Amino acid sequence: MLVDSRMILRKAETAGVLERLCQALELTAAQYETAKSRYEAVGKWLADSESPLLRELSIYLQGSTALGTTVKPIEQNEHDVDLVAHLPILGGLPPAGVKRAIGDRLRANARYAPLLLEMPRCWRLSYANEFHLDITPSIPNPACANGGELVPDKALKQWKESNPKGYNRLFERRAALQPRMRFVKSETAQDRARADSIEPYPLALGFKGILRRTVQVAKRHRDVYFVEMDRSFAPISVIITTLAARSYEYCVGQFVYDNELDVVRDIIRHMPAFIEMRTIAGETLWFIWNETTEGENFAEKWNSDPNRAEAFFAWHERVTADLDRLVDIEGLDRLNKSLSESFGRAVVAKAFDSLTEEVTSARRESRLSVMPGVGLVVGGMTAGAPGIAVPQNTFFGGR
């Protein structure tokens, strides 16, 4: 298949920036280890309680931290770290009583008491300018064949179906799928020769997991899109994650791609296909099911407030258009401007700074080369084929 090599270069360039953008949004390795040590300490403190209710309690990650799709909130320094405090006890335990027992135990610790905040469904330990740990109680759901759990509803009056571990396993299975990528040849020898005039970025960087990066890209775009609106209408992260995961499985099974950017665009484009809509007694109802347990509808709030559904589709139209527009942008300055409008100036600046630093290091160590039909790469090798070394005086128009 013959494809314009300049288009390939632009898409690869954009994918490289998006990869760095996602890296800037997630927990650093140090932050993750700090959060891990703290939630393990919390779990031990709860389990060491003399209360028979808490004695067998275990604590584990759920949500974006567990999935590897964290996105730093806008205008905040703190990441959300969501935890489940699971009590392997069957029976008619009231959610309010279970939650109260966990809160009382946390208050009994001099370290945790000043950090403790009560939320509608959970307890929050807030570490200022770092992250906050949200601890949600759960018990086994004997009616779920997939090992599901029950968590409190907002009013703490009843238990609701959930399955955090099953959800994580399904996401991991889908994330492990690999899209089919065709080998792309550039159109002409002239196209290949043009590659050494493209602005120097390490285009073979690649995504570290296309599904995870797509979720992060979509969540960040959502945060920026709703920053000047009523943020309560922004689609919740589990809706974006669920639809992206189902769309990814569909796309990798149906299509063949030239590059990773097109995979991301297709995943987001097909997300609405996995929303179920029913009309009952003249009323439109929406369903985005948790496939790992019966009865959990992530779009439940859409059915009590149709504005939420409208907000989702308006945002989806914008994110699809914004990503499509990137394909035709030429020049790093224009790419920077467009990405900044969609994802925020500060984080995009970090992404470009990171890429520039990578290129500078590669140039200094003579690790930057041009691959025909691919572009500038670090290391000079792609699939065993040698690249053409880039002289040091070709960067940014001269020495």
- 33 within a domain of the structure (yes/no): yes
Mean pLDDT, the chain, rounded, equals: 85
- 52 within a domain of the structure (yes/no): yes
d(CA 188, CA 268): 32
Residue 264 pLDDT exceeds 50: yes
List the CATH number of the domain containing 118.
3.30.460.10
Residue 368 pLDDT exceeds 60: no
Residue 336 pLDDT exceeds 60: yes
Query: Of 159, 143, 163, which is closest to residue 151 (Cα–Cα)?
Result: 159
d(CA 104, CA 46): 10
- 22 within a domain of the structure (yes/no): no
Q: How many percent of the chain have pLDDT more than 90?
A: 63
- 297 within a domain of the structure (yes/no): no
Structure-block tokens of residue 194: 């043009």
User: Mean pLDDT throughout 376-385?
Assistant: 39
Question: Which is higher by pLDDT, 368 or 188?
Answer: 368
Lowest mean pLDDT among 22-36, 241-255, 317-331, 383-397: 383-397
pLDDT at 384: 37
Residue 118 pLDDT exceeds 60: yes
Structure-block tokens of residue 287: 């369903």
- 102 within a domain of the structure (yes/no): yes
Exposure letters 115-129 (e unless 16+ CB within 10 A, then b): beeeeebbbebeeee
Each residue's pLDDT tens digit, 301-317: 999 999 999 999 999 99
- 47 within a domain of the structure (yes/no): yes
Q: How confident is the model at residue 357 (pLDDT cuts 50, 70, 90)?
A: confident
User: Mean pLDDT throughout 30-42?
Assistant: 89
Query: Of 69, 241, 84, which is closest to residue 148 (Cα–Cα)?
Result: 84
d(CA 2, CA 187): 5
User: β-pairing, 2-3 with 276-280?
Assistant: unpaired
- 240 within a domain of the structure (yes/no): no
User: Mean pLDDT throughout 261-286?
Assistant: 96
Domain that holds residue 57: 29-173
Which residue is it, tokens 């179906």? Answer: 161
Q: Which residues have CB under 8 Å from 369's CB, separation 6+?
A: 376, 377, 379, 380, 386, 387, 388, 389, 390
Q: How many percent of the chain have pLDDT more than 70?
A: 83
User: Mean pLDDT throughout 179-193?
Assistant: 59
pLDDT at 399: 30
- 20 within a domain of the structure (yes/no): no
pLDDT at 347: 94
Count of the separate structural domains present in the chain: 1
Number of Cβ atoms within 10 Å of the Cβ of 143: 11
Q: What angle do CA 265, 14, 334 make, to 5 degrees?
A: 110
pLDDT at 206: 59
pLDDT at 131: 87
Each residue's pLDDT tens digit, 337-348: 999 999 999 999
Residues in the chain: 399
How would DSSP label each residue in 336-375? Answer: HHHHHHHH-HHHHHHHHHHHHHHHHHHHHTT-EEEETTTE
